[in-house]
Protein backbone atom coordinates (compact mmCIF):
# COMPACT_ATOMS: atom_id res chain seq x y z
CA UNK A 1 0.00 0.00 0.00
CA UNK A 2 2.83 2.33 0.94
CA UNK A 3 4.67 1.54 -2.34
CA UNK A 4 1.50 2.24 -4.32
CA UNK A 5 1.15 5.64 -2.65
CA UNK A 6 4.80 6.52 -3.37
CA UNK A 7 4.40 5.43 -6.99
CA UNK A 8 1.30 7.61 -7.33
CA UNK A 9 3.15 10.62 -5.91
CA UNK A 10 6.06 10.10 -8.32
CA UNK A 11 3.67 9.88 -11.29
CA UNK A 12 1.93 13.09 -10.21
CA UNK A 13 5.28 14.89 -9.80
CA UNK A 14 6.45 13.74 -13.23
CA UNK A 15 3.19 14.90 -14.80
CA UNK A 16 3.51 18.25 -13.01
CA UNK A 17 7.05 18.90 -14.27
CA UNK A 18 6.17 17.77 -17.79
CA UNK A 19 3.24 20.17 -17.77
CA UNK A 20 5.54 22.97 -16.63
CA UNK A 21 8.00 22.14 -19.40
CA UNK A 22 5.42 22.11 -22.17
CA UNK A 23 3.69 25.19 -20.76
CA UNK A 24 7.01 27.05 -20.80
CA UNK A 25 7.73 25.98 -24.37
CA UNK A 26 4.25 26.92 -25.49
CA UNK A 27 4.49 30.22 -23.65
CA UNK A 28 7.36 31.20 -25.92
CA UNK A 29 5.22 30.83 -29.04
CA UNK A 30 3.91 34.01 -30.71
CA UNK A 31 6.47 36.30 -29.08
CA UNK A 32 8.60 38.76 -31.03
CA UNK A 33 11.14 41.57 -30.64
CA UNK A 34 11.41 44.89 -32.53
CA UNK A 35 15.06 45.55 -33.33
CA UNK A 36 16.68 48.55 -31.67
CA UNK A 37 19.98 50.12 -32.73
CA UNK A 38 22.89 47.89 -31.69
CA UNK A 39 20.88 44.68 -31.30
CA UNK A 40 22.44 41.37 -32.41
CA UNK A 41 21.01 37.84 -32.37
CA UNK A 42 23.67 36.91 -29.81
CA UNK A 43 22.47 39.69 -27.47
CA UNK A 44 18.79 38.83 -27.98
CA UNK A 45 19.37 35.17 -27.09
CA UNK A 46 21.25 36.23 -23.96
CA UNK A 47 18.45 38.67 -23.08
CA UNK A 48 15.43 36.41 -23.60
CA UNK A 49 16.84 32.93 -22.91
CA UNK A 50 20.04 33.45 -20.92
CA UNK A 51 21.89 31.46 -23.60
CA UNK A 52 23.59 33.47 -26.38
CA UNK A 53 24.59 30.24 -28.17
CA UNK A 54 20.99 29.82 -29.33
CA UNK A 55 21.60 32.54 -31.95
CA UNK A 56 21.97 30.12 -34.95
CA UNK A 57 18.55 28.66 -34.13
CA UNK A 58 17.02 32.15 -33.90
CA UNK A 59 18.65 33.06 -37.23
CA UNK A 60 17.17 29.97 -38.86
CA UNK A 61 13.72 31.06 -37.65
CA UNK A 62 14.16 34.53 -39.26
CA UNK A 63 15.55 33.81 -42.76
CA UNK A 64 15.23 37.42 -43.96
CA UNK A 65 18.25 38.36 -41.80
CA UNK A 66 21.41 38.59 -43.91
CA UNK A 67 23.87 39.29 -41.09
CA UNK A 68 23.14 38.26 -37.46
CA UNK A 69 25.46 41.00 -36.21
CA UNK A 70 23.95 43.83 -38.32
CA UNK A 71 20.22 43.93 -37.64
CA UNK A 72 18.12 46.73 -39.10
CA UNK A 73 16.32 48.85 -36.45
CA UNK A 74 12.56 48.44 -36.79
CA UNK A 75 12.72 44.86 -38.08
CA UNK A 76 10.57 42.29 -36.31
CA UNK A 77 12.40 39.22 -34.96
CA UNK A 78 10.17 36.23 -34.22
CA UNK A 79 11.37 34.55 -31.03
CA UNK A 80 11.84 30.82 -30.60
CA UNK A 81 8.69 28.80 -30.01
CA UNK A 82 10.24 25.86 -28.14
CA UNK A 83 12.43 27.62 -25.58
CA UNK A 84 10.95 29.14 -22.38
CA UNK A 85 11.46 32.88 -22.03
CA UNK A 86 13.34 34.29 -19.07
CA UNK A 87 12.20 37.83 -19.78
CA UNK A 88 8.94 39.46 -20.87
CA UNK A 89 8.56 40.01 -24.64
CA UNK A 90 5.99 41.41 -27.09
CA UNK A 91 3.29 38.90 -28.00
CA UNK A 92 0.82 38.52 -30.85
CA UNK A 93 -2.77 39.11 -29.84
CA UNK A 94 -4.60 35.82 -30.45
CA UNK A 95 -8.13 34.66 -29.88
CA UNK A 96 -9.06 31.51 -27.91
CA UNK A 97 -8.01 28.40 -29.78
CA UNK A 98 -11.62 27.36 -30.29
CA UNK A 99 -12.38 30.60 -32.17
CA UNK A 100 -9.22 30.82 -34.28
CA UNK A 101 -9.90 30.22 -37.95
CA UNK A 102 -7.28 28.70 -40.17
CA UNK A 103 -5.92 31.08 -42.78
CA UNK A 104 -7.27 30.15 -46.21
CA UNK A 105 -4.71 28.74 -48.60
CA UNK A 106 -5.39 31.63 -51.01
CA UNK A 107 -4.07 34.07 -48.38
CA UNK A 108 -0.85 32.21 -47.64
CA UNK A 109 1.07 33.49 -50.68
CA UNK A 110 2.92 36.10 -48.57
CA UNK A 111 3.67 33.94 -45.53
CA UNK A 112 7.23 33.00 -46.57
CA UNK A 113 8.23 36.61 -47.18
CA UNK A 114 8.49 38.58 -50.41
CA UNK A 115 11.65 38.75 -52.54
CA UNK A 116 11.88 42.37 -53.70
CA UNK A 117 15.24 42.25 -55.51
CA UNK A 118 13.32 42.18 -58.82
CA UNK A 119 11.55 45.44 -57.93
CA UNK A 120 14.54 47.59 -56.93
CA UNK A 121 18.18 47.42 -55.91
CA UNK A 122 17.85 47.34 -52.12
CA UNK A 123 21.47 48.43 -51.71
CA UNK A 124 20.67 51.75 -53.38
CA UNK A 125 17.30 52.71 -51.88
CA UNK A 126 18.81 55.44 -49.68
CA UNK A 127 16.80 57.12 -46.95
CA UNK A 128 15.47 60.41 -45.58
CA UNK A 129 17.57 61.99 -42.82
CA UNK A 130 16.52 64.96 -40.66
CA UNK A 131 20.18 66.06 -40.49
CA UNK A 132 23.12 66.04 -42.92
CA UNK A 133 25.13 62.80 -42.75
CA UNK A 134 28.63 63.26 -41.35
CA UNK A 135 31.11 61.52 -43.71
CA UNK A 136 33.66 59.03 -42.39
CA UNK A 137 36.00 59.78 -45.29
CA UNK A 138 36.43 60.77 -48.92
CA UNK A 139 37.78 59.49 -52.25
CA UNK A 140 40.86 61.66 -52.78
CA UNK A 141 42.39 60.23 -55.98
CA UNK A 142 42.05 57.53 -58.64
CA UNK A 143 44.33 55.64 -61.05
CA UNK A 144 42.36 56.84 -64.07
CA UNK A 145 41.88 60.04 -66.01
CA UNK A 146 38.14 59.45 -66.39
CA UNK A 147 35.92 61.83 -64.43
CA UNK A 148 33.39 59.09 -63.69
CA UNK A 149 34.82 56.04 -61.94
CA UNK A 150 33.99 52.51 -63.01
CA UNK A 151 33.94 49.21 -61.17
CA UNK A 152 37.46 47.81 -60.53
CA UNK A 153 39.05 51.27 -60.77
CA UNK A 154 41.73 51.74 -58.10
CA UNK A 155 41.29 54.66 -55.72
CA UNK A 156 42.85 56.20 -52.63
CA UNK A 157 40.65 56.99 -49.62
CA UNK A 158 41.06 59.17 -46.58
CA UNK A 159 39.18 57.53 -43.68
CA UNK A 160 38.70 58.68 -40.11
CA UNK A 161 39.17 56.28 -37.18
CA UNK A 162 41.32 53.21 -36.74
CA UNK A 163 38.76 50.44 -37.25
CA UNK A 164 39.10 50.06 -41.04
CA UNK A 165 40.54 46.75 -42.25
CA UNK A 166 41.34 45.31 -45.70
CA UNK A 167 38.19 43.79 -47.16
CA UNK A 168 35.85 46.34 -45.55
CA UNK A 169 33.14 47.85 -47.75
CA UNK A 170 32.77 51.62 -47.49
CA UNK A 171 29.72 53.23 -49.05
CA UNK A 172 29.81 56.25 -51.36
CA UNK A 173 26.93 58.69 -50.89
CA UNK A 174 25.66 62.18 -51.45
CA UNK A 175 23.15 64.35 -49.60
CA UNK A 176 20.59 66.46 -51.36
CA UNK A 177 20.03 70.09 -50.53
CA UNK A 178 17.57 70.54 -47.69
CA UNK A 179 14.09 69.62 -48.92
CA UNK A 180 10.78 71.05 -47.74
CA UNK A 181 7.69 69.39 -46.36
CA UNK A 182 5.25 69.17 -49.31
CA UNK A 183 2.31 69.95 -47.01
CA UNK A 184 3.51 73.12 -45.29
CA UNK A 185 6.80 74.09 -47.02
CA UNK A 186 8.73 73.87 -43.73
CA UNK A 187 12.32 72.50 -43.80
CA UNK A 188 12.16 68.69 -43.66
CA UNK A 189 15.59 67.07 -44.06
CA UNK A 190 17.91 65.54 -46.63
CA UNK A 191 17.66 62.70 -49.12
CA UNK A 192 20.69 60.43 -48.71
CA UNK A 193 21.52 58.71 -52.02
CA UNK A 194 23.82 55.67 -52.09
CA UNK A 195 26.05 55.86 -55.17
CA UNK A 196 27.95 52.58 -54.73
CA UNK A 197 30.69 51.12 -52.58
CA UNK A 198 34.46 50.65 -52.51
CA UNK A 199 36.44 47.76 -51.01
CA UNK A 200 39.50 48.58 -48.93
CA UNK A 201 42.60 46.64 -50.07
CA UNK A 202 45.40 47.98 -47.83
CA UNK A 203 46.44 50.78 -45.52
CA UNK A 204 49.03 53.17 -46.98
CA UNK A 205 49.76 55.14 -43.82
CA UNK A 206 47.79 56.98 -41.19
CA UNK A 207 44.30 57.66 -42.54
CA UNK A 208 45.16 56.83 -46.17
CA UNK A 209 43.99 53.56 -47.72
CA UNK A 210 44.08 51.88 -51.12
CA UNK A 211 40.74 50.59 -52.36
CA UNK A 212 38.95 49.41 -55.49
CA UNK A 213 35.55 50.50 -56.74
CA UNK A 214 33.37 47.47 -56.01
CA UNK A 215 29.87 48.49 -57.17
CA UNK A 216 28.36 51.58 -58.78
CA UNK A 217 24.67 52.49 -58.81
CA UNK A 218 25.08 56.14 -59.82
CA UNK A 219 28.05 58.20 -61.06
CA UNK A 220 30.99 58.13 -58.63
CA UNK A 221 33.76 60.73 -58.79
CA UNK A 222 36.92 61.69 -56.95
CA UNK A 223 35.88 63.91 -54.06
CA UNK A 224 32.73 61.94 -53.23
CA UNK A 225 32.08 61.34 -49.54
CA UNK A 226 32.06 58.00 -47.73
CA UNK A 227 29.87 56.57 -44.96
CA UNK A 228 29.03 53.39 -43.10
CA UNK A 229 25.76 51.93 -44.33
CA UNK A 230 23.91 48.64 -43.81
CA UNK A 231 21.73 47.68 -46.81
CA UNK A 232 18.44 46.01 -45.98
CA UNK A 233 17.63 42.41 -46.84
CA UNK A 234 15.80 41.79 -50.11
CA UNK A 235 13.51 39.35 -48.26
CA UNK A 236 10.67 41.32 -46.65
CA UNK A 237 8.49 39.46 -44.16
CA UNK A 238 4.94 40.93 -44.07
CA UNK A 239 4.13 42.47 -40.70
CA UNK A 240 0.76 43.63 -39.38
CA UNK A 241 0.37 47.38 -38.93
CA UNK A 242 -1.89 49.37 -36.59
CA UNK A 243 -5.33 49.50 -38.20
CA UNK A 244 -6.27 52.91 -39.58
CA UNK A 245 -2.79 54.41 -39.11
CA UNK A 246 -1.98 57.06 -41.73
CA UNK A 247 1.26 58.61 -42.92
CA UNK A 248 2.50 60.75 -45.81
CA UNK A 249 4.97 60.40 -48.70
CA UNK A 250 7.46 63.20 -48.03
CA UNK A 251 10.08 62.61 -50.71
CA UNK A 252 11.04 60.35 -53.61
CA UNK A 253 14.35 58.69 -54.45
CA UNK A 254 16.46 60.78 -56.84
CA UNK A 255 14.07 63.67 -56.10
CA UNK A 256 11.65 62.54 -58.80
CA UNK A 257 8.43 64.52 -58.98
CA UNK A 258 6.03 61.90 -60.37
CA UNK A 259 5.48 58.66 -58.44
CA UNK A 260 4.57 55.44 -60.26
CA UNK A 261 4.97 51.69 -59.94
CA UNK A 262 8.31 50.62 -58.39
CA UNK A 263 9.14 54.17 -57.27
CA UNK A 264 11.10 54.29 -53.99
CA UNK A 265 9.43 56.72 -51.58
CA UNK A 266 10.31 58.14 -48.16
CA UNK A 267 7.59 58.34 -45.49
CA UNK A 268 7.34 60.83 -42.65
CA UNK A 269 7.02 58.15 -39.93
CA UNK A 270 9.41 55.42 -38.77
CA UNK A 271 9.55 52.74 -36.12
CA UNK A 272 9.44 55.44 -33.44
CA UNK A 273 5.87 56.11 -34.60
CA UNK A 274 4.96 52.44 -35.15
CA UNK A 275 5.86 51.91 -38.83
CA UNK A 276 7.68 48.61 -39.31
CA UNK A 277 9.46 46.93 -42.19
CA UNK A 278 6.90 44.66 -43.87
CA UNK A 279 3.91 46.97 -43.32
CA UNK A 280 1.59 47.41 -46.29
CA UNK A 281 -0.10 50.75 -47.04
CA UNK A 282 -2.74 51.72 -49.55
CA UNK A 283 -2.36 55.07 -51.32
CA UNK A 284 -5.60 57.01 -51.04
CA UNK A 285 -6.98 59.87 -53.09
CA UNK A 286 -9.50 61.89 -51.16
CA UNK A 287 -12.65 63.17 -52.85
CA UNK A 288 -14.79 65.87 -51.34
CA UNK A 289 -18.14 64.43 -50.29
CA UNK A 290 -17.29 61.00 -51.71
CA UNK A 291 -15.47 57.90 -50.41
CA UNK A 292 -11.68 57.78 -50.75
CA UNK A 293 -10.25 56.00 -53.79
CA UNK A 294 -7.36 53.54 -53.47
CA UNK A 295 -4.85 54.37 -56.22
CA UNK A 296 -1.86 52.22 -55.22
CA UNK A 297 0.00 50.18 -52.61
CA UNK A 298 3.30 50.80 -50.82
CA UNK A 299 5.39 48.13 -49.08
CA UNK A 300 7.72 49.35 -46.31
CA UNK A 301 11.20 47.87 -46.84
CA UNK A 302 13.22 49.84 -44.28
CA UNK A 303 12.25 51.63 -41.09
CA UNK A 304 14.33 54.21 -39.22
CA UNK A 305 13.61 56.15 -36.01
CA UNK A 306 11.65 58.97 -37.66
CA UNK A 307 11.22 57.96 -41.31
CA UNK A 308 10.86 54.86 -43.44
CA UNK A 309 11.42 53.72 -47.01
CA UNK A 310 8.78 52.09 -49.19
CA UNK A 311 8.40 50.66 -52.68
CA UNK A 312 5.29 51.34 -54.73
CA UNK A 313 4.29 47.75 -55.54
CA UNK A 314 1.21 48.86 -57.48
CA UNK A 315 0.14 52.21 -58.96
CA UNK A 316 -3.25 52.57 -60.63
CA UNK A 317 -2.42 56.18 -61.50
CA UNK A 318 0.44 58.61 -60.93
CA UNK A 319 0.61 60.51 -57.65
CA UNK A 320 2.95 62.99 -55.98
CA UNK A 321 4.73 64.01 -52.78
CA UNK A 322 2.20 64.64 -50.04
CA UNK A 323 0.10 61.59 -51.00
CA UNK A 324 -1.64 60.01 -48.02
CA UNK A 325 -1.10 56.38 -47.06
CA UNK A 326 -3.31 54.22 -44.86
CA UNK A 327 -2.37 50.85 -43.37
CA UNK A 328 -3.83 47.74 -44.96
CA UNK A 329 -3.85 44.35 -43.25
CA UNK A 330 -2.15 41.64 -45.30
CA UNK A 331 -5.27 39.48 -45.13
CA UNK A 332 -6.94 42.14 -47.31
CA UNK A 333 -4.03 42.63 -49.73
CA UNK A 334 -4.96 42.35 -53.43
CA UNK A 335 -4.33 38.81 -54.64
CA UNK A 336 -2.44 40.02 -57.71
CA UNK A 337 0.42 41.19 -55.45
CA UNK A 338 1.27 37.48 -55.21
CA UNK A 339 3.19 38.05 -58.47
CA UNK A 340 6.03 39.21 -56.20
CA UNK A 341 8.05 35.99 -55.76
CA UNK A 342 8.42 34.43 -52.29
CA UNK A 343 11.77 34.36 -50.52
CA UNK A 344 13.81 31.25 -51.31
CATH number where 330 lies? 2.40.10.340
Q: 227, 255, 277: which is the final residue of a domain?
A: 227
10 within some domain: no
Q: 170, 202, 227: which is the final residue of a domain?
A: 227
Q: 227, 244, 279: which is the final residue of a domain?
A: 227
By the 10 Å C-beta count (0-12 exposed, 13-18 middle, 19+ buried), 287 is classed as exposed
pLDDT confidence of residue 338: 86
242 and 333 belong to one structural domain: yes
202 and 249 belong to one structural domain: no
- What is the three-class DSSP state of 151? coil
pLDDT confidence of residue 161: 77
Which of 114, 144, 186 lies closest to 337 in space, CA to CA?
A: 114
pLDDT confidence of residue 243: 86
Rounded to 10 degrees, the C-alpha dihedral 309/315/319/322 comes to -30
158 and 133 belong to one structural domain: yes
> By residue range, what is the domain housing residue 313?
236-339
| Residue ranges of the chain with per-residue pLDDT less than 70 | 1-29, 66, 92-108
pLDDT confidence of residue 268: 95
pLDDT confidence of residue 11: 44
139 and 193 belong to one structural domain: yes
223 and 130 belong to one structural domain: yes
110 within some domain: no
275 within some domain: yes
223 and 251 belong to one structural domain: no
pTM: 0.71
CA–CA distance, 30 with 27 (Å, rounded to integer)? 8
213 and 246 belong to one structural domain: no
Please give the backbone phi and psi of residue 98, each rounded to the nearest 5 degrees, phi first: -70, -20
Q: Count up the domains in the chain and report the number.
A: 3
CA–CA distance, 214 with 87 (Å, rounded to integer)? 43
Torsion sign (Cα): 46, 79, 110, 258 = negative
212 and 245 belong to one structural domain: no
Amino acid sequence: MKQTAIRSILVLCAAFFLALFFWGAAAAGGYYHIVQKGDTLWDLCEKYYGDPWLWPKLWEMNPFITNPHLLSPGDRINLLEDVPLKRKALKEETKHASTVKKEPEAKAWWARGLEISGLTNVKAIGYLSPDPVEPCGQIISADTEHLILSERDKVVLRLEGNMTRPGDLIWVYKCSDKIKNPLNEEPLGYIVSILGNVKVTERIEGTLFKAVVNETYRDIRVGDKLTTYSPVSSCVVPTSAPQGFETTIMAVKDEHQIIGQFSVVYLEDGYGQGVQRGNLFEVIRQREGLPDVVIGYVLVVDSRPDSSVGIVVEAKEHFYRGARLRTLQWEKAPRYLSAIPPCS
